[in-house]
Amino acid sequence: MALTDRSSARPPLLLLVSCFLCAASSFPRDLQAISVLDGEWKGCVCVCVCVCVWWGGGGGGPPAELLWGSTDKWHVNSRAACRLSESGDFPAFQSLLQDNRTRRLGLHFQGMTRVNRMLFITARDHVFAVNLTTAAEAFVPQMTLTWRAADVSKCAVRGKDGDECYNYIKVLVPRDDETLFVCGTNAFNPACRNYKTSTLEQVGSDLPGQARCPFESGQSNAGTFAGNFHFYSATVTDFLASDAVIYRSLGDGRPVLRTVKYDSKWLREPRFLHAVEYGRFVYFFLSEIAVEYTTLGKVVFSRVARVCKNDNGGSPRVLDKHWTSFLKARLNCSLPGESLFYFDVLQSLTGVLQINGRPAVLAVFTTQANSIPGSAVCAFYMDDVEEVFSGKFKEQRGGDSSWTAAPEDAVPRPRPGSCAGDGPAADFKSSVDFPDETLAFVKSFPLMDGAVPAVNRRPFYTRTASGSKLTQIAADVSAGPRKERAVVFLGSEDGRVAKVLVATLPHDTSGSRLLEDIDVYDPDKCDLGVREEDRRVLGLELDKEHHALFVAFGSCLVRVPLSRCGRHGACKRACLASRDPYCIWLRTGRCADTAPGFKAGFEQDIEGDHSNMAACAEMRDWRMRVGPGVLLVSGVRGAAAGEEDSASHVHYTLLIACVLLAFSLGAASSGLLVSRFRGGGRRDARRNGTFDKDPEASLPGASSPHPLAKLGGLLDPAPEVSAKPRGERPRCVTCALSPAGGQNGRAAAATCLTRQHSYSEGVHLRRANVQVTNASAVRRAVSLKPKLPPKPLFLPDVPTLIASEPSGR
């Protein structure tokens, strides 16, 4: 259990106790230098250092983690890293794991749609309904619909892969407040059904799904209900995906209409992404092979196409049962300059939002597949889209000629692409009454000459340095307590989600800011081992009411909070400098997430300069990146959420001071222990009558040849281990050199046994027998001593008399 008492007296006391416990451990009682630490003492020093770090970290939390700050200083964060790991432990959903078949096959996510307080997730053979109110505590479906393919044999006969012979739910669109329209591939035989929203019970019989639903999971589609419950769909009509179509069906009062079949001027290998109703039209956003740039190969352009909701088709002569109002235009998302840099491939799109008080859509674009990796976020005003559709047409005179703007005098009246009964076609009650010239023109030249410009004529946000491209987008254009900020969430190919504060105004010089970059994909939760890892983000759904973002991968869904303001703790500068519209500084002295109803009693400054604010003592500029589900954030590091004390950082100077303190206390306690041993030696010497009254004689200094002999090995060329029995008391054999010197003295010194000791200390049993056999070695050792009178060496428990050279040489 982690300690929670933060008494100021406890950490120093534990530090002293740990160091004195180290001092009480066994010390090597031999002649090695005291400054040399053995393994036990090194461990004790580590214990002292850990106590110091624990002291600074504020308690018995998880081990401290060293982080490299942007100020090029080391500091220790004892709990924040753990808190980030906990915050990264996002709730996830991996399908029905209790179903062995579903667990073996995996989720195979296809799409998700929010309807009121429910999030409907479409997958293989299943539709899951998750209650958004309870998803924060338990990410489990409240209802589950299982719809398996009825006839798999036809799929196998067509030679399709076994993985495709299932029912992939590709369409889930609210038909009204009580009914869901659901379509699935049904093993290459698309079918549709109606279900009750509240219970997921089927209503009525099955409907054919051709032209409403694709044949396989990898084919794109888009659809929406508009007008008098008519279903507008965009997909392919055959399992070879050769016939792309924009189709209207169901409903009452309008005929079934479609685009011209096998006409590349209308659609050429399109990838449909989104359908939205706006005004008198239904708009389809897609990317396709550009017909106007065939000389450059297969170049992908992004388009927006539209049809009139009251279109009844053409005359029996021209465009019978086909759209008479179908027009399309290019979306221009590019960096300005002398030579524009285009982001041509549309990846994801939002619905119609309010940007700068005008209806608009936000979209993610990427570069061509064979180009350098790059991504951009662009917005388009809907009135700019309508203006382009009111502009010039693009035409091609001959099969090999280039596409140019059609002259105004060549455009028939009423204007092609107009809605009957409105604008230029106000005099016509129905599109079947249009002149054949108008119908023939729109059939041959549905492409507009102009391109829809991006808001502010440039992207809101670009990313070219990263090797991965953006894939999905979700936007909150009313973020913050004042609902005046725009924040976009961007999914990428590598499983990350970036949160960006978007600068929408043209005069905003600060530009967009990357607030967070979160690694959401967790292999432990999303990789069930059924196939290779797929980190690509396939969908994003914003749940602003419950402060959450749902991130979809092929094998799982993850629920991520919109912000983690609690990590800034009680540091005001860290809270405000994060510039996160979801974070506010409360008067109570903490950083908190915004919630509905916050109108006063807080502080937030997105545009201000916070460099002059007082820095928190325990805070440092930081940049951190850790494993799956954990944050990569730049800014001023705050304490973890829920911490009462934000002193979770220890500066490197305090860490060094703790280390020095640990060594000092260890050295002091060692000195006390050595003094105790020496005091015991003196008492034994008094009892044996060999006590030397000169206190300096007890220190092995320069006057003794023994340290030189110990270090240099001058007097022990061939030590022999004594065979004395264990436990025998040491004895000292002494002899003296002749005062007059001479050969007799030197010969005596040559055979003098200067020291012999034997003692047992547990596992440290040491026996030595040093015999001087070389008189010249004695002379060299003695010649190095200072000119002081010879004094005997006193060793603990081994009284010894040192043989010295005669002074009268």
> Is the omega angle on the peptide bond into residue 412 within 30 degrees of 0, that is, cis?
no
> Tokens in use for 85?
């790991």
Q: How many helices (H) and strands (E) does the chain have?
A: 13, 46
> Across the chain, what does the average pLDDT equal?
76
Q: Which residues in 45-163 belong to E strands, given as ranges?
A: 65-68, 74-77, 92-93, 111-115, 118-122, 126-131, 143-146
- Coil/strand/helix, residue 163: helix
Tell me which of 229 and 653 has the higher pLDDT.
Answer: 229
Report the C-alpha gap between 172 and 225 in whole angstroms: 11
**pLDDT in the model for residue 149:** 92
- Give mean pLDDT, residues 355-381: 96
Q: Which pLDDT score is estimated for 685? A: 55
Q: What is the pLDDT of residue 95?
A: 80
Residue 554 confidence (pLDDT)? 93
Considering only CA atoms, which of 497, 136, 367, 351 is closest in space to residue 488? 497
SS3 of 807, please? coil
C-alpha distances in angstroms, 728 versus 723, 725, 758? 11, 6, 7
| Contact between 477 and 552 (Cβ < 8 Å) | no
Which residues are CB-neighbours of 243 under 8 A, at least 6 positions away?
Answer: 236, 237, 261, 262
pLDDT of residue 74: 33
Residue 423, phi-psi category: left (phi > 0), alpha (psi -120 to 50), beta (remainder): left
What was the pLDDT predicted at 809? 37
In this predicted structure, the answer to whether residue 517 has a pLDDT above a threshold of 90 is yes
Give the span between the Cα atoms of 809 and 800, in whole angstroms. Answer: 24
User: Which amino acid is present at 192?
Assistant: C
| Residue among 416, 364, 414, 356 at smallest CA distance from 383 | 356
Structure tokens that stand for 243 in this block: 């016939």
Q: Backbone phi, then psi, for 296, in 5-degree steps?
A: -95, 10
Q: What percent of the chain has pLDDT over 70?
A: 66
Q: List Cα–Cα distances, 539 to 472, 546, 693, 772, in angstroms.
A: 6, 18, 90, 88
Q: Please report where in the chains the tokens 């956003």 appear, as a residue.
A: 285
DSSP letter for each residue of 596-610: TT--SSEE--SSS--
Least confident of 370-384, 416-430, 564-578, 647-661: 647-661
Would you say 582 and 522 are in contact if contact means Cβ atoms under 8 Å apart? no
More confident site: 497 or 724: 497
Question: Whose CA is closest to 161, among 184, 183, 187?
Answer: 187
- pLDDT grade, residue 655 (50/70/90)? confident
CB atoms < 10 A from the CB of 453, how many?
19
Decide the pairing of beta strands 126-131 and 602-603.
unpaired
Count of CB atoms within 10 A of residue 432's CB?
18
CB atoms within 10 A of CB 77: 25
Q: In what order do the strands lie in the sheet with 179-184?
A: 169-174, 179-184, 191-196, 202-208
Per the CB < 8 A criterion, the answer to whether 447 and 329 are in contact is yes
- pLDDT of 40 reads 44
Gap between the Cα atoms of 260 and 443, Å rounded? 8
Tens digit of each residue's pLDDT (9 = 90 or more) over 528-544:
655 567 899 999 999 99
The H or E element spanning position 477 is: strand 470-479
Flag whether pLDDT at 461 surpasses 90: yes
β pairing state of 327-332 and 447-453: parallel
Quote the percentage of the chain above a pLDDT of 90.
49
Distance (Å, whole) CA 485 – CA 478:
5
Entry pTM: 0.69
β-pair type (126-131, 755-759): unpaired
212 or 678, which is more confident? 212
Burial class (CB in 10 A: 0-12, 13-18, 19+), 259: buried
Better pLDDT: 717 or 96: 96
Give the residue extent of every domain in the chain.
Answer: 1-64+650-691, 692-799
Closest by CA to 374, choosing from 342, 406, 407, 331, is 342
Q: What is the pLDDT of residues 552-570, one digit of tens each?
A: 999 999 999 999 998 888 8
Angle CA(198)–CA(489)–CA(572) in degrees, nearest 5? 110
Average pLDDT of the residues in 221-228: 95
Q: Which of 92-101, 236-245, 798-807 has the highest mean pLDDT?
A: 236-245
| Confidence band of 643 (pLDDT split at 50, 70, 90) | very low
Q: Which residues pair with 302 in a beta bridge?
A: 287
Q: Flag whether pLDDT at 10 surpasses 60.
A: no
Residue in the block written with tokens 């306690």: 669
User: How far is the C-alpha of 592 from the C-alpha of 566, rounded, in Å?
Assistant: 6
Element (H, E) at 330: strand 327-332
Q: Count other Cβ atoms within 10 Å, centred on residue 373.
A: 16
Residue 396 has pLDDT above 70, yes or no: yes
The string of pLDDT tens digits covering residues 728-757 is 444 444 444 444 444 444 444 444 433 444
CB 336 within 8 A of CB 448: no
**Residues near 215 by Cβ (< 8 Å), separated by ≥ 6?**
185, 188, 190, 236, 238, 239, 241
Contact 226, 310 (CB under 8 A): no
Look at 126-140, 529-543, 674-688 and tell me which has the smallest mean pLDDT: 674-688
For position 689, what pLDDT does the model report? Answer: 56
- What is the structure's pLDDT at 688? 58
Whole-number Å distance between alpha carbons of 371 and 464:
11
CB atoms inside a 10 Å sphere around CB 99? 14
If you average pLDDT over residues 274-287, what whole number do you get?
98
| Pairwise pLDDT comparison (35 vs 476), residue with the higher score | 476
Weakest mean pLDDT among 74-83, 476-485, 768-777:
74-83
SS3 80: helix
